[in-house]
Each structure stands twice: as structure tokens, then as C-alpha cells.
Amino acid sequence: MATPPSADRIEQVAFGFMASKVLFSAIEFGLFTELAKGALSAEEIQHRIGLHPRSARDFPDALVALGMLERNGTLYSNTRDTDFYLDRGKPTYIGNFFQLWNARVYGFAGSLGEGLKTGKPQNEIKSGDEDWVDAMYRTPERLRLFLRCMTGHSLPSAIAIAQKFPWAKYQTFADIGTAEGCFPAQVAVAHPHLRGEGFDLSAVRPFFEEYVSSFRVQDRVRFRAGDFFKDALPSADVLVMGMILHDWSLDVKQALMKKAYEALPDGGALIVYEHLIDDDRRKNLAGLLMSLIMLLETQEGFDYTGADCCAWMRKAGFKEIRVEQLTGIESMVVGIK
């Protein structure tokens, strides 16, 4: 008999929701934060984070199988990656972002099918609640949490861009839609000659200033209050739009790029970074799934390829446009005025 087809890959994809929930639960329980203090046995983990005996082995072992923990003998420890990104005690913690997915997006994705058929968001908007971003701005506690989530969203690319962009050629930069200032902080720490601004709504200022000060770069990184729809963008040698453009329609994307072009001096650069979809739209799953999250979360947003972004930048007037991969799944597009 011939070898029958395999259902393994189908099953692996089908199990994906359980994999996400195991990771999200570990973040919620602070497991990576506990393990950053030292390796623990299954029994110690069970008591430290309050697991029921039924899950005391399956839960950490599933995290090992997912590549989120290591196990040597009977002791579990963080991987290099989870220790760096998922320990709440480190300034490189990005777990808040996934807690937002756990608390909101996982549930909304339950009606992905309806979203695919109707094209309508499946988040709070659907039930007539106010826009969730507006809701986030309503109390300082919520706003702080939301801005921290955005730091988790931006940090891997911010670290990479701090390393990979030719910052030596420039003196000033401004980050558009900066939130807590994740991007300015990373770049300013890595390049002492730079001065930068974080541009966002005025309510964001105290959180930005607190965050940036924690990196001791507050003398070179300032907050500028403004609305990128209503106001002109700040002028700087380099303007940055990270995980911003995918929230909006093509018209808004193009209008924002045009605004950036107008604000830049000759020779200035625009950096756009996202989970860019590969040009052939078949490899970067994260970009395609992020675009479907934009379907769930926004009225008209979508993610796009590097080639798409290059074409829009060209239309806005930019030249010497290039795409550069930042991580395995995130990339930047750079255009020069």
C-alpha cells in the first residue's frame, strides 16, 4: 500500500489555540518572572504559581515542547529568549502585549468566521461599546496598561532598528505614535549622539516621561503632544512609524506617508516597521495573521508587503526606498526624501 497522506500538519495547526493559551497562562501566572530568579522543579513551580496537581507536569512540559522553557534533569528554566522578553523584572519585558491578546483578541477571534464574511470588526465595536482605544484613554490605569502593551508590540523591532539603521548619518529623530517611548528609548540608549522626540496624544505624556527617564535618556528624548490626523508631524532627520500604518485604510496610510514626507528635510528618512508580509504572500505567516487581527480590530486596517509599502512611499515622493528584515517576522521599509 502507498503511504497515506499525513494529518500531522493539520493537527498541529489545529492545536495552535492550546499552544497560545499555555503561553498566555504562563505569562499571566508570572512563571517566567519566577524562573528568572533561578531554575525550579515541577513541584516548586506548582507551589510558586499555584497550579493544581493535575497540571503540575503537563503545563511546564508543554512549555518545554513549545521551546518556551528548558528542562535539565528535573529543573525547569527560562530559555534565553523567554528570560529576556517575558521576565517582568526586566526592561525588555513584552508580556503585557500578549496579555492584551489573551484578555481581548483570543475571544474576538472566536468570531473570525463572521469577520471574514462581513468584513466588520469583531471587538468591542461590534457590541456597541465604545471604541476600545478610546476606552483605554479614559482612565490613567487603563492607559498605562495599554501603553505598556504597545511597548511589548514595538520592542523587538526597536532593538533591531537601533542596531541596523545607519544612525551615525543622522542627528535627530521623531517617533510617530510613540506610546511609552519604547522606540526612542532603545535608539537613544544605543546612540548617544542622537536627540529624539516621541509624538503622541497629550494624555500619554506622563507615562512617556516616566518610561524614558527609567532609561536615563530624558535629556535627549522629549515628548511632543499632537494628533497625527490633525496636526503637522514633527520635523526631524528621521521619522518613524511603527505598527501604526496597518491600523488604517490605504487612503489614510498614503496620507500619513505624505505628511511624513512634508515634515522631513531633504535627505531625511522615513522608517516604517511592521510584521511585513513577504512580497509573494506565502511565507511570513505572522504578517498575514496580523492583517486578519486588523480585520477583527479595525474598520479598514490591513497589513501589507514590502513591495506595497515601497510603491506607496514612491507615490509620496520618497526615493532610495529599501526593505530590510529586522527579525524573522518583522521588517522595516526606509525611504529618503
Residues recognised as catalytic: 246
According to DSSP H, which parts of 198-305 are helical? 205-214, 250-263, 285-297
- Binding flag, residue 5, its own copies (CB under 8 A): yes
Q: Which of 116, 133, 232, 311 binds its own copies (CB under 8 A)?
A: 116
**Kind of pairing between the strands at 238-242 and 319-325:** unpaired
Set of cell numbers at residue 87: 521576565
Measure the CA–CA gap between 154 and 185, rounded to whole angstroms: 11
Binding map of its own copies across residues 178-217, x = CB under 8 A, - = no contact: ------------x---------------------------
| Smallest gap from residue 184 Cβ to its own copies (A) | 17
For residue 249, is it left (φ>0), alpha (ψ between -120 and 50) or beta?
A: beta
Which part of the chain contacts its own copies (CB under 8 A), choosing from 217-225, 229-237, 266-274, 322-330?
322-330
- Binding flag, residue 311, its own copies (CB under 8 A): no
Measure the CA–CA gap between 12 and 8, rounded to whole angstroms: 6
Binding map of its own copies across residues 12-51, x = CB under 8 A, - = no contact: xxxxxxxxxxxxxx--xx--------------------xx
Measure the CA–CA gap between 239 and 231, rounded to whole angstroms: 15
Burial of 186 (0-12, 13-18, 19+ CB in 10 A): buried
- Binding flag, residue 118, its own copies (CB under 8 A): yes
Scan residues 276-305 and list those touching its own copies (CB under 8 A): 277, 281-286, 288-293, 295, 300, 302-303
Set of cell numbers at residue 41: 522543579
DSSP class of residue 234 equals: P
Give residue 149's identity as a one-letter amino acid code.
Answer: C
Q: Which of 41, 44, 75, 112 binds its own copies (CB under 8 A)?
A: 112
DSSP class of residue 249 equals: -
Q: Which of 30, 44, 57, 324 binds its own copies (CB under 8 A)?
A: 57
| Smallest gap from residue 294 Cβ to its own copies (A) | 9
Measure the CA–CA gap between 25 and 15, rounded to whole angstroms: 16
Scan residues 140-159 and list those touching its own copies (CB under 8 A): 155-156, 159
| Smallest gap from residue 268 Cβ to its own copies (A) | 25
Measure the CA–CA gap between 100 and 130, rounded to whole angstroms: 17
Instruction: Give how far Cα 190 sits from Cα of 160, 165, 185, 262, Å.
Output: 11, 11, 9, 28
For its own copies, give the closer residue by CB, 171 or 327: 327
| Smallest gap from residue 81 Cβ to its own copies (A) | 4
DSSP class of residue 223 equals: E
For its own copies, give the closer residue by CB, 46 or 197: 46
Count of residues interacting with its own copies (CB under 8 A): 91
| Smallest gap from residue 99 Cβ to its own copies (A) | 10
Scan residues 59-88 and list those touching its own copies (CB under 8 A): 59, 61-62, 64-68, 71, 80-86
DSSP class of residue 301 equals: -
For its own copies, give the closer residue by CB, 59 or 173: 59
| Smallest gap from residue 68 Cβ to its own copies (A) | 7
- Binding flag, residue 271, its own copies (CB under 8 A): no
Q: Which of 109, 161, 188, 212 binds its own copies (CB under 8 A)?
A: 109
Backbone angles phi, psi at 261, to 5 degrees: -60, -45
Q: Which of 74, 171, 214, 327 binds its own copies (CB under 8 A)?
A: 327
- Binding flag, residue 166, its own copies (CB under 8 A): no
Sheet with 195-200: strands ordered across: 221-225, 195-200, 172-176, 238-242, 269-274, 331-336, 319-325
